[in-house]
């Protein structure tokens, strides 16, 4: 099953190609002999290609046959340009049931039902964040969670829900900043590492892009198009990917970004723990199960 796949790869300065029946990558080390590493395509959910990478058409074809999502990003896993939407290439040569797509479309066309789905997304996000933070020993006060929950219930439009979401996220940043004794302000896309605060911002960008990979993989596995969002702008390409990724960003990405940014860890250490934690928690299972239940109107 797609949701049981263990591997997520992020590569920089590497060449991806097919060798026989395998997909492999060569690292650009500058040495005379290049090392060749295997990509187990049958057990890989998605592959992210960063700066200085290339991929052959044969490798793309082999990955598509194995239903691997391929994404392109900038250095450190964040987009190349601030105005550029994330780009993931879903395989096109396999058959998937259309049940979930049809059910999603029926509800998406109804404004009231679409708003209910948006509320379900925020409730799931709240519940999973509370569970994750509790397991990490970080207390989210009942008043903070209660304010967000009441705002979800009373929200009469996506604009009101997004405003409530912004307040919620700001409070979470403040909680983690106090825990790590930092002055923190969220600044996206800066890619700086000169201070712990700047490094945290960079890791948040990096981690969010990995979350987009999980979201895109879950949606692709269920056959639901990326362009049918419930919260983010309906004219934005891939907006449903952002909606789905938001389910896990608070509970998965945010605490690890503060932990590693505060410690001055390398990006690779942050990335490794993030991917391993996502695997341990069964993030793809969680996302696909929730989306499937929502598409069937089991709110």
Give the confidence band of 130 by pLDDT, cuts at 50, 70, 90.
Answer: very high
Q: What is the pTM of this model?
A: 0.86
pLDDT tens per residue across span 224-253: 988 899 998 766 667 899 999 999 999 999
Identify whether 21 is part of a domain.
Answer: yes
Task: Classify residue 179 by burial, with Cβ atoms within 10 Å: 0-12, 13-18, 19+.
Answer: middle
Provide the pLDDT confidence category of residue 110 given band limits of 50, 70 and 90.
Answer: very high
Same domain (yes/no): 29, 121: no
106 and 223 co-located in one domain:
yes
Tally Cβ neighbours within 10 Å of residue 296: 13
What CATH number is attached to the domain comprising 273?
1.20.120.920
Number of domains in the chain: 2
Helices and strands of the chain, counted as H and E runs: 10, 8
Q: Do residues 221 and 111 share a domain?
A: yes
Q: Which of the listed residues 72, 92, 126 is the one where a domain comes to its end?
A: 72
Cβ atoms within 10 Å, residue 269: 14
Q: Closest by alpha carbon to 257, among 195, 138, 176?
A: 176
Query: Which residues partner with 16 through β-bridges?
Result: 25, 55
- The full length of the chain comes to 299
Residue 165 shares a structural domain with residue 278: yes
**Is residue 88 predicted with pLDDT exceeding 70?**
no
Output the domain CATH number for residue 61.
3.100.10.20
Q: Per-residue confidence at 173, pLDDT binned at 50, 70, 90?
A: very high
Q: Which domain holds residue 53?
A: 2-72
131 and 11 in one domain? no
Residues 174 and 56 in one domain: no
Q: Say if 261 falls within a structural domain.
A: yes
Question: Which residue, chain included where needed, has tokens 């793809």?
Answer: 284
pLDDT number for residue 193: 73
How many percent of the chain have pLDDT more than 70? 86
pLDDT at 91: 67
Lateral strand order in the sheet of 44-49: 7-11, 44-49, 69-72, 87-89
pLDDT (tens digit per residue) in 6-64: 788 888 889 999 999 999 999 876 666 577 899 999 999 888 888 888 999 999 999 98
Q: What is the mean pLDDT of residues 101-123?
A: 95
| Pair 165, 33 in one domain | no
7 and 57 co-located in one domain? yes
Please tell me the predicted confidence (pLDDT) of residue 82.
Answer: 39
The answer as to whether 61 is a domain residue is: yes
Q: Check: CB of residue 77 under 8 Å from CB of residue 210.
A: yes
Q: Is there a domain that residue 80 lies in?
A: no
Same domain for 125 and 8?
no
- Judgement on whether residues 176 and 269 belong to the same structural domain of the protein: yes
Say if CB 274 and CB 209 are below 8 A apart: no
């Amino acid at each position: 099953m797609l949701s049981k796949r263990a591997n997520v790869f992020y590569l920089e300065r590497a060449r991806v190609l097919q060798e026989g029946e395998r997909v492999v990558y060569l690292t650009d080390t500058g040495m005379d002999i290049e090392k060749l590493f295997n990509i187990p395509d049958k057990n890989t959910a998605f592959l992210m290609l960063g700066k200085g990478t290339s991929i052959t058409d044969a490798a793309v074809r082999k990955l598509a046959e194995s239903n691997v999502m391929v994404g392109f990003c900038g250095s450190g896993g964040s987009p190349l340009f601030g105005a550029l939407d994330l780009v993931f290439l879903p395989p096109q040569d396999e058959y998937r049931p259309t049940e979930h797509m049809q059910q999603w479309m029926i509800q998406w066309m109804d404004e009231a039902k679409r708003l209910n789905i948006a509320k379900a997304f925020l409730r799931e996000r709240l519940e999973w964040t509370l569970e994750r933070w509790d397991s990490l020993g970080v207390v989210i006060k009942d008043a903070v969670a209660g304010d967000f929950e009441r705002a979800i219930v009373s929200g009469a439009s996506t604009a009101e829900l997004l405003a409530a979401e912004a307040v919620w996220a700001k409070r979470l940043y403040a909680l983690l900043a106090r825990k790590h004794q930092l002055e923190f302000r969220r600044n996206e896309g800066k890619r700086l590492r000169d201070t712990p605060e700047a490094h945290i911002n960079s890791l948040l960008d990096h981690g969010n892009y990995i979350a987009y990979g999980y979201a895109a993989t879950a949606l692709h596995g269920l056959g639901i198009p990326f362009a049918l969002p419930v919260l983010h702008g309906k004219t934005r390409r891939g907006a449903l990917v952002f909606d789905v990724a938001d389910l896990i960003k608070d509970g998965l990405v945010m605490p690890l970004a503060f932990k590693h940014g505060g410690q001055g860890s390398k990006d690779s250490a942050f990335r490794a723990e993030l991917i391993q934690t996502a695997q341990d928690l069964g993030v793809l299972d969680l996302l696909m199960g929730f989306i499937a239940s929502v598409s069937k109107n089991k709110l």
